[in-house]
Structure 1
Amino acid sequence: MITLTKYGSFFTIDSNQGGTKGVPAAAQSFPNNRFTDGQGVWKFNKSGEITATALNFNFPAPESTASVTAARADYRFRFNRTTQTVEGTFEIRTFDLTKNPLDKNVPVGKGEPFTFSFTGQRVTVSD
């Protein structure tokens, strides 16, 4: 789920957040799947596309000795006003907590960025 506010705030929540147990095999390609909601900002770019950046935290499995990491997700998508649908992609990069995830020069983890495509429908309330 993606929420865009009129003031430029961007919020995401993902059905994979709880870990890989019980999720489809295709969703298990991401190495962890234990992460928080994402929060960030969005804007329209010159081509009419929406771009957004959100940050979140990733937690290792309970039996792991790995550290908590931060992540940056960069989104690019278009909203179709006629069909009230959205289509786009996002890339996720993870960072050690001592690094700035907004610094484009900080090295990222092996195999990154992770790239995902998505489609969606606008949620509305009828009168």
Structure 2
Amino acid sequence: MKIIVTSLFVQDQDKALEFYSEKLGFVKKHDVPMGKFRWITLVSPDDQDGTELLLEPNEHPAAKEYQKKISAEGIPATMFGVADIHKEYERLMEKGVKFTMEPTKMGEVTIAVFDDTCGNLIQIIQK
């Protein structure tokens, strides 16, 4: 068994697609109409057959409340691995990404956290 899709609640699918593809550099894999919304997934450009990130509309009241509360508590919704966190931090800063935590060493890893503009905090980690 392996993880093939993981979802992330977003407030606006179009805005999220733009942010995750243009700012972060993920590649759109699927964009399929599904009634009022779309099945939009992205993948890492380095692993286009790997795990897909689903940009899930947060239309359900429980999803909205969950997203709002974890963000307010400063809890990242998900984590992405990077090879060089300082280089990635600089690249994203140049693209206008707003960080809530700059690269910080925590034991064996270094982490940073940014706002995805779609209701989530996202953590990047270098092992």
Q: 1 or 2 for the larger relative contact order (CA 8 Å, sep ≥6)?
A: 2
Q: TM-score, normalised by structure 1?
A: 0.26
Please report the TM-score for the alignment, with normalisation by the length of structure 2: 0.26
Larger radius of gyration: 1
